[in-house]
Structure 1
Amino acid sequence: MKTVCLYFQVHQPWRLKKYRFFNMGKDHNYLDDLLNRSIMQKVARQCYLPMNALLLKLIKENKGKFRCSFSITGIAIEQFRAYAPEVLESFRALAETGCVEFLAETYSHSLAALASKEDFTAQVKLHMAAVKKEFGVKPTAFRNTELIYSDEIGEMVAGMGFRTMLAEGAKHVLGWKSPNYVYANAIDQKLRLLLRNYKLSDDIA
Structure 2
Amino acid sequence: MRTICFYFQVHQPFRLRRYRFFDIGLQHNYYDEAANQGIMRKVADKCYLPTNEILLELIEHYGDRFKVAFSISGVCLDQFERYAPDVLNSFQRLAQSGGVEFLAETYPHSLAALCEGDEFERSVKRQHARIQELFGQDPQTFRNTELIYSDLIGARVAALGYTQMLTEGAKQVLGWKSPNYLYHNPIEPKLKLLLKNYQLSDDIAFRFSNRGWNGWPLTAEKFAQWLSALPPRDEMVNLFMDYETFGEHQWAETGIFDFLRALPNAIFTHTDFGFQTPAGVVASHQSVGALHVPYPISWADEERDLSAWLGNDLQNEAFRNLNELAPLVQKTNDADLQRDYLYLQTSDHFYYMCTKWFSDGDVHKYFNPYETPYAAFVNYMNVLSDFQLRLRAATPTGES
- Relative contact order higher in (CA < 8 Å, ≥ 6 apart): 2
TM over 0.5: yes
2:187 corresponding residue in structure 1: 187
8 A contact 2:63–2:99 mirrored in 1: no
1:49 Cα offset (Å): 0.3
Whole-angstrom distance in 2 between the partners of 1:178 and 1:47: 32
Question: How far does the alpha carbon of each residue in 1:8-40 deviate from its partner, in whole angstroms, 9 at most, with x for none?
Answer: 000001111111233223211010001100000
1:95 corresponding residue in structure 2: 95
Whole-angstrom distance in 1 between the partners of 2:26 and 2:78: 26
8 A contact 2:185–2:192 mirrored in 1: yes
- 3-state SS, counterpart of residue 183 of structure 1: strand
1:134 corresponding residue in structure 2: 134
- Amino acid paired to 1:11: H
- Amino acid paired to 1:49: L
1:2 Cα offset (Å): 1.1
8 A contact 1:182–1:192 mirrored in 2: yes
TM-score, normalisation: structure 2: 0.51
- 3-state SS, counterpart of residue 57 of structure 1: helix
Whole-angstrom distance in 1 between the partners of 2:156 and 2:38: 38
Question: How far does the alpha carbon of each residue in 1:80-111 deviate from its partner, in whole angstroms, 9 at most, with x for none?
Answer: 00000000000000000111000000111111
2:398 corresponding residue in structure 1: none
Query: How many pairs does the alignment contain?
Result: 205
8 A contact 2:180–2:197 mirrored in 1: yes
- 3-state SS, counterpart of residue 3 of structure 1: strand
2:370 corresponding residue in structure 1: none
Question: How far does the alpha carbon of each residue in 1:39-77 deviate from its partner, in whole angstroms, 9 at most, with x for none?
Answer: 000100000000100100110110221000001000000
Moved more, 190-199 or 18-27: 18-27
1:152 is aligned to 2:142: no
Superposition pairs of residues 22-171 of structure 1, within 5 angstroms: 22-171=22-171
CA distance 1:117–1:4, shift in 2 (3 Å): farther
- Amino acid paired to 2:93: A
- Amino acid paired to 1:75: V
Whole-angstrom distance in 2 between the partners of 1:61 and 1:86: 23
Report the RMSD for the aligned CA atoms in angstroms.
0.9
8 A contact 1:117–1:156 mirrored in 2: no
- 3-state SS, counterpart of residue 195 of structure 2: strand
Whole-angstrom distance in 2 between the partners of 1:116 and 1:36: 31
8 A contact 1:41–1:83 mirrored in 2: yes
8 A contact 1:40–1:84 mirrored in 2: yes
8 A contact 1:103–1:141 mirrored in 2: yes
1:171 Cα offset (Å): 1.3
- Amino acid paired to 1:190: K
**Structure of greater Rg:** 2
Whole-angstrom distance in 1 between the partners of 2:184 and 2:21: 51
- 3-state SS, counterpart of residue 4 of structure 1: strand
8 A contact 1:71–1:105 mirrored in 2: yes
1:9 corresponding residue in structure 2: 9
Q: Percent identity?
A: 59
Question: How far does the alpha carbon of each residue in 1:115-164 deviate from its partner, in whole angstroms, 9 at most, with x for none?
Answer: 12411100100000111111111111000111111111111111111111
1:197 is aligned to 2:197: yes
1:176 Cα offset (Å): 0.6
Whole-angstrom distance in 2 between the partners of 1:25 and 1:176: 55
2:252 corresponding residue in structure 1: none
8 A contact 1:158–1:188 mirrored in 2: yes
Structure 1: 5+ residue runs without aligned partners?
none
Whole-angstrom distance in 2 between the partners of 1:117 and 1:88: 32
